Structure 1
Amino acid sequence: MNNNLTSTGELANEVLPQDWGNFEHIFHPDNHHHYRNAIDTTADLVQEFLYRNTKPFSGIEAKEMKGKVQEIDLNQKLSSYSELLSEVDDIYVKHATAFHLPQYVAHLNCPVVIPALAGEILVSAINSSQDTYDQSAGGTFMERKLIDWTAEQIGYNVNGSDGVFTAGGSQSNLMGLVMMRDCFSQKRYQHNIKTDGLPPEADRFRIFVSDKSHFSNLKNASIMGLGEKSIIKVPTDERFRMDIPLLKKYMKREEQMGNIPIGIVATAGTTDFGNVDPLDDIADIAEQYNIWMHVDAAYGCALLLSTKYRSLLNGIERADSVTIDYHKSFFQPISSSAFIVKNKRELLILKHHADYLNPKEMDEEEIPAQINKSITQSTRRFDALKLWFTLRMMGKEQLADYTDTVIDLTKDTAVMIAQDPDFELLSDSDLSVLVFRYTRPDIADTDALNQFIKMKLFYSGEILVASTRVNGNFYLKFTLLNPITTTEDIHQILTKIKTHGKDFSPEK
C-alpha cells in the first residue's frame, strides 16, 4: 500500500481492497471523512449538553432510567450517527450529571479544563498503550516527565523518586499498602512475599489509619490477604484529623497484644471534611518505628501547586509514597491519577517479566517499560497526555489559582453557614468540603428533615448536594470544586435548602 500523501492530503495511487466498504469504520486515512463526521456530530451534542443543561440533573428516577436502557435492542444496528446520538442523548446525555454547573456541590467531581479534553481526542484515537516503549515511544517519556514533575512538587529528589500513572486513588492506595507490606517483610524478615507468599507473621501485621480515611484501605487490606482486621482506625481530633496522642497509644496497644505495626496511612484531604492529617507528626512516628508512611493525597494534592495554602502539606515530602488524583484536583477528565514513591528502588518489588513484553534481557535504560511499575494494569491508556496538554496551555500558576479560589469560596461559605441560625456547621475545612445540617426548633427528627431536603433537591434536579453520617447523625455536605461558583450561587443554594426545609412535616 502506497502511503505517500498528495498536496490535498489524499493517498496517492491507493489501491483499495474490493470490499473496502466493510472497513469504513476502521480508523484509517481513507476513512478520515467518516472520522471527522463522527467527531463533529458528537461535538455538536456536547455543545448542546452545555447550553441545554441549566440544572445539574434531570431528576429521572432509577426505575424509569433502567426501563429506557432495557428496551434497546443491541442486536439491531442503527443507520447513522444522527440516529445513534439521538438514542444516546435520550438515555444518557439528557440525564447525565452536569458537574460544570455551580449548582453541583455534591461529590469529588471537578469541572474539566478544555486543554485536557483536547488531549482526550488524541488519547482515544491513537490509542497508545503505556506498558512498553514499543507501544508508546514518546508517551513513555512524557509520562515519566510528569511523574518527575509531580515528585518535585511533593518535595522528593527527582533523581531518586519514581512512580506511574494509575486508574485512580483506590488503586494508588493499594500500591502504597502493597509496598508497605512487602518492604517491611523483606527488611524485617528477609522474606519475599512476591515469590513466597505471606510470612507467618503477616496475620499480626497492623496498618494505622484515621477513622475518617478512605474506605479503600479496608478493601485493599482484604485483597492483600491481611484482612480488614489489619486496619486499625485511629480516632480523630475536633477537626477530624488523625489524633496523634491516640495514634501513639493505639500503636503501643497493638504491640502489647503481640501485633506488628508495619505502616501508617495519613490522609491529606478527607472525603467528608477535606482536612489534612498532621503529616510531620505522623512522619516522626513512622521514622521512630522505622515503618512505611503512605499519604493518600488523592484530594489534597491540589495544595501542591498553591503558594497560599501549600504549607498545609508540610511533611508530605517525608512520606515513602503518595497517592495523587489529578482527576479530583487538577481539573482532569477521569481517569488521571498517579502513585509516587520516594525511593525508586522500592518499586522493584512490583517488577515481573514477560518474554513478550519486558524480557529479563531487555536493557531498562535503553528500552524502558512502564509495566515494570504497574501493579494491576498491563494495557494502560496514555492518560498523562491530558495533564501534559493542561500544563503546557495553562501552567501551574493558573491551576493553583483555581484551587485557591475554591478554598477561599469554602471559607466564605463556612462563615455564611455558621452565622445563619437555621444551620449547624459541623467543622471548617482545610480544602473545600463543608458538613452541616438545616435545623428547625419545632422538628426533633433532624435526620429526617435533612434527608427530606436532600431528596427534594435531587429529584427536582435543581441542586445536587451530598450527605454523610457523623456519629450516627445525618448531615448535608458541600464539596466545592468549581472555581466558577460564586458566593451568590451558594446563597441561592442555601436559600433553596431552607425553602424545602420549611416545607417538611413529619407526616410527609
Structure 2
Amino acid sequence: MNQPTLIAAPVKDLFYGGASAEYNAAITAAAARVTAFLENNKRPFSGIRPAALLAQFREVDFDTPLPDYESLFEEVDRLYIQHATAFHLPQYIAHLNCPVVIPALAAEVIISAINSSQDTYDQSAGGTFMERKLIDWTGQQIGYDDQCDGVFTAGGSQSNMMGLLLARDYYALTYLHHNIKLDGHPIEASRFRIFVSEKAHFSNQKNASLMGLGEQAVIKVATDERFRMDLGALEAAIQKERQLGNIPIAVIATAGTTDFGNVDPLAGIAGIAQRHQLWYHIDAAYGCGLLLTDKYRYLLDGIERADSVTIDYHKSFFQPISSSAFIVRNRLHLNIIRHHADYLNPKEQDYDALPAQINKSVTQSTRRFDALKLWFTLRLMGRQQLGAYTDTIIDTAEEAACLIEEQVDFQLLSHSDLGVLVFRYYPAKLNVSPCELNKKIKEQLFFSGEVLVASTKVDGKFYLKFTILNPLTTIEDIKEILNKIRSAI
C-alpha cells in the first residue's frame, strides 16, 4: 500500500496563517512592479512586433520552476509588463478601455486573497448582500422601483445573452405556453425575430447563434444621420417580418454604440416595443456612465421602461476588468433561468432567509466577488466624483469633434453623445486611396508605440477612431495626436 506523501513544514506558498510574511513580501514586490509601470511609461505601447515577443516565449520551460520571486518578477516584467498597453495615458485613445480608480485596485487585493465565490450565501455571506445592494442601487439609477433585481456578470456580451435568453423564453412561456428550459425550442422558434440597430454590438448575432436561433433571427434596422436606430425603420421592419410570417419577440436598443458612442432613441423604441408586445432590452454597456451624471443623464430618458439592461462598470465606471451586471425591471423574470441542484441550491430552501445569487446566473457557478470593487469606489468617491469624470470626457469629446471638423485635412463622420469620434486623414494631395493611407497611419502609430488609435469600416470605407474614455485627456492631447497622425506617413 502506498504511503501518503508528507508535506515538509513550514509551507510557504499556500495562503494560510503560517505564510503571512511571504504573502506580504510577494504583494509588496508586485506593487513595486505596478508602481514602476505607472511611473516609467511615457507611451502607451512598446511597439514590439509579435514575432519578436513570441521568440522570447519559446525559451520558457514550465518543467523547470524559477528559484525565487525576484526571478519570477523579472521574467513577467520582460514578457508582459514592459509590453502591456498603458490605458491610463492620454495617448491611448483606441478601444473601450478606461483608466481605473485606485479604490477598486485596493479591493482587488482583498477579492483575490479571500477568494469568495458569489454563488451561495455559505460561500460569501456579506459579499452576497454587498452585491445585492449594488444591484439595487444600479436599478434605482436606471429608474426602476424596488421590484428590480439582477446579478454581476463577466461582461456586456454575457449580459446581452441573458437579455436575449429571457426575451426568447418569456415569449414562449407567455404566448406559446411552452417551456424552452424543459422542452427545448418550439417549432415556431425558427421564425423568432429580434430587432437591433445596424450599428449594434456583434454579441447580438453571436448570442442568437449560441441559443440556436441562428444569426438569421437578428434583423438589422437602419440608422439616422447620427447612426442611431431610426424609429420609422424599426416600425417598418417589424411590420415586414410579420407579413413574412415571422414572429417578432424582442427589440434591443443601444445606449452608446461601440463605433460612434451614440444613444438610440430609447423612449421612442420603448413605445414601439410596448405597442408590439416585445421584450425590450437595452445594451448600455458603454453608455451606463450617463447614469452618473446629472448634466447628460437625459440621454438615457426611457431606459427605465426597458425589461432588462446591460451595464459594464468596467467601461464607464472606471473599474478593473471584469465588473458588469445584468438588471431586470421585474425580479420574477429571473425565475425563468433558475435551476436547482441538490448540493448547491435545493428547491426546498427558503431563499428569502438564505439567499443564493446562483439562482440569477446563467453561465457562471463559481463567480468572483467583483462587486467589492464598485463598493470601494462608491463608498470612497461617490457618484458625484465619477459623474464629474463622465462630464469631462463628454465635454472633451465634443471639443475634439469641433476641432477635427475645423481641420481642412481631416474628415469627421459624426459627433458623439459619449466619446467616440470616427474620422480619417484626407490631405489635399494623395498618392494612395484614403483607405490605404489611414490603414498605414494606424499601423505606423501602433508600432511606434507613441499613439494607439482604433479603426472601423463604414460603408466599406476605412476610418480611424478615437475612443475618449480618460478624464485626463485634454484638447491639447488631441491636438498633439492629430499632428502625429499627419506626420506618421
Query: If the length of structure 1 is used for normalisation, what is the TM-score?
Result: 0.94
Distance 1:378 1:310 in 2: 34
Correspondent of 2:465 among 458, 477, 488: 477
Letter in 2 for 1:329: S
Distance 2:33 2:57 in 1: 19
Letter in 2 for 1:20: A
Q: Structure 2: any 5+ residue segments left out of the alignment?
A: 1-5
**Secondary structure of 2:392 counterpart:** helix
Deviation digits for residues 277-323 of structure 1, max 9, x if unmatched? 00011000110011100000000000011100000000000000000
Structure 1 residue aligned with 2:441: 453
Alpha-carbon shift at residue 367 of structure 1 (Å): 0.6
Percent of aligned pairs sharing the same letter: 63
Distance 1:317 1:69 in 2: 50
Letter in 2 for 1:145: K
Correspondent of 1:20 among 9, 18, 28: 9
Q: Does 1:34 align with 2:54?
A: no
Count of matched residue positions in the alignment of Structure 1 and Structure 2? 483
Distance 1:272 1:366 in 2: 45
Structure 2 residue aligned with 1:58: 46
Correspondent of 1:194 among 173, 181, 195: 181
Distance 2:15 2:219 in 1: 51
Structure 2 residue aligned with 1:116: 104
Distance 1:351 1:65 in 2: 45
Letter in 2 for 1:337: S
Distance 2:369 2:257 in 1: 28
Q: Does 1:179 align with 2:166?
A: yes
Distance 1:468 1:291 in 2: 31
Q: Does 1:419 align with 2:410?
A: no
Deviation digits for residues 164-193 of structure 1, max 9, x if unmatched? 000000000000000000001111011100
Deviation digits for residues 470-504 of structure 1, max 9, x if unmatched? 0000000000010011111111101111112xx3x
Taking only aligned residues, the RMSD between alpha carbons, in angstroms, comes to 0.8
Distance 1:72 1:274 in 2: 42
Letter in 2 for 1:488: E
Deviation digits for residues 168-224 of structure 1, max 9, x if unmatched? 000000000000000011110111000010011000000000000000000000000
Deviation digits for residues 250-279 of structure 1, max 9, x if unmatched? 111110000000000000000000000000
**Secondary structure of 1:207 counterpart:** strand
Letter in 1 for 2:292: L
Letter in 1 for 2:450: E
Distance 1:348 1:460 in 2: 52
Correspondent of 1:305 among 292, 313, 324: 292
**Secondary structure of 1:353 counterpart:** coil
Structure 1 residue aligned with 2:190: 203
Structure 2 residue aligned with 1:7: none
Q: Does 1:329 align with 2:316?
A: yes
The equivalences for 1:62-81 within 5 A come to 62-81=50-69
Query: If the length of structure 2 is used for normalisation, what is the TM-score?
Result: 0.98
Alpha-carbon shift at residue 358 of structure 1 (Å): 0.4
Correspondent of 1:493 among 456, 466, 481: 481
Structure 1 residue aligned with 2:349: 362
Distance 1:497 1:25 in 2: 49
Alignment check: 8 A CA contact 2:208 2:217 kept: yes
Deviation digits for residues 108-139 of structure 1, max 9, x if unmatched? 00000000000000000000000000000000
Distance 1:19 1:274 in 2: 57
Correspondent of 2:130 among 136, 142, 153: 142
Distance 1:462 1:265 in 2: 38
Alignment check: 8 A CA contact 2:409 2:428 kept: no
18 and 350 in structure 1: CA distance in 2 versus 1, 3 angstrom threshold: closer
Structure 1 residue aligned with 2:364: 377
The equivalences for 1:75-474 within 5 A come to 75-157=63-145, 159-443=146-430, 445-474=433-462
Letter in 2 for 1:216: S
Distance 1:67 1:389 in 2: 41
Distance 1:338 1:84 in 2: 35
Alpha-carbon shift at residue 30 of structure 1 (Å): 1.0
Structure 1 runs, 4 residues or longer, greater than 3 Å off? none
Distance 2:189 2:91 in 1: 48
Letter in 1 for 2:224: D
Alpha-carbon shift at residue 18 of structure 1 (Å): 7.5
**Secondary structure of 2:395 counterpart:** helix
Alpha-carbon shift at residue 441 of structure 1 (Å): 2.1
Alpha-carbon shift at residue 66 of structure 1 (Å): 1.5
Q: Structure 1: any 5+ residue segments left out of the alignment?
A: 1-16, 504-508
Distance 1:462 1:351 in 2: 49
Deviation digits for residues 216-240 of structure 1, max 9, x if unmatched? 0000000000000000001111000
Alignment check: 8 A CA contact 2:227 2:262 kept: yes
**Secondary structure of 2:413 counterpart:** strand
Deviation digits for residues 348-403 of structure 1, max 9, x if unmatched? 01100011110111110111000000000000000000000000010000000000
Distance 1:418 1:20 in 2: 69
